[in-house]
Amino acid sequence: MEQFSITKNCTTLFHGFPLIDLSKPDSKSQLVHACEEFGFFKVVNHGVPIKFMSELESEAVKFFSLPLSAKEKAGPPDPFGYGNKKIGSNGDVGWVEYLLLTTNTESDYQKFASIFGEAAEKFRCAVNDYLSAVKKMACQILEILADGLKIQPRNVFSKLLMDEQSDSVFRMNHYPPCPEIDQESNGGNLIGFGEHTDPQIISVLRSNNTSGLQISLKDGNWISIPPDQYSFFINVGDSLQVMTNGRFKSVRHRVVTNSPKSRLSMIYFGGPPLSEKIAPLPSLMKGEDSLYKEFTWFEYKKSVYNSRLADNRLGLFEKIAAS
């Protein structure tokens, strides 16, 4: 694993994964290459004000520092709200507590009024400011990717996030300081959030300066991603993999906890409207056969919620190649 920056195929690799400066004119080819080879990259000069990042982190720290009995007033997740250790409804667990919010934030805040009182409005404003800036960056990245793929119109991906009916989700994860664990088991790591791919189009992640995120490379090896509280990490989601007919790869990732420090992360999952048909874009096919059956986002989301985290959830929607 590279411990320094190198340039490979015109893409800067940092600790073995792509680092992309969104302000540079050559970011287009770098973004496409990163999505093809890794399904993951780090972005700098992203345009999201540090003030929005730090204010939301401060509000999240306040919430997760509350007594469990107070936090549980915002749960259980149905699907939105506060959850603790249990991830989904199919037996996945992790060393994590979390808040899951719809990006239509108005509908969530009744749950928080009883916990925060008058401070609920400050929490809501911090989430809204952060989300509007992060969503803008996600759309910018998707439009640069469309340019790089020579697709018209250039908002073919971003319009799905901008749609009023966009089914996007915002998640704040808190991984508490880790108890003493058996160093022999799992290399001394405790699973914070098990390995999985994200089902949506694109995910935008930011964390505090505590490590834990790992991604799986094409060869199946896992590499640790050094934290950077001022940058963002982007995951290609399953839906974008399908829309590019497998050219872009959704990245398998996980979080391990082995730190005496707590880790806080916040993730915007940009999703399409529930009724949107997810299929390879005809302009990218060039005579190729589709690798996937067409499905709506609602159908795929329902299938994902009925699966385990580590399942190959796109497998059910792949066309079986004729032998």
The beta strand positions in 29-168, using DSSP E, are 40-44, 81-87, 92-102
| 206 neighbors 111 (Cβ within 8 angstroms) | no
186 phi/psi in degrees, rounded to 5: 55, 35
Contact partners, residue 30, CB within 8 Å, separation at least 6: 10, 11, 12, 18, 20, 41
Which one of 206, 254, 263, 313 is the catalytic residue? 263
Using DSSP, state whether 160 is helix, strand or coil: helix
CA 241 to chain centre: 14
Task: Give the contacts of 20 (CB within 8 A, at least 6 positions apart).
Answer: 11, 12, 27, 30, 31, 34, 41, 42, 43, 44
Are 243 and 199 contacting, i.e. CB atoms less than 8 angstroms apart? Answer: no
Q: How many residues does the chain have?
A: 323
Q: Give the β-pairing of 40-44 and 17-21.
A: parallel
End-to-end CA distance of the chain: 38
Catalytic annotation present for 263: yes
For the purposes of burial, counting CB atoms within 10 Å of the CB of 258, is it exposed (0-12), middle (13-18) or buried (19 or more)? middle
Q: Tokens standing for 194?
A: 């098990």
Active-site residues: which are they?
Answer: 263
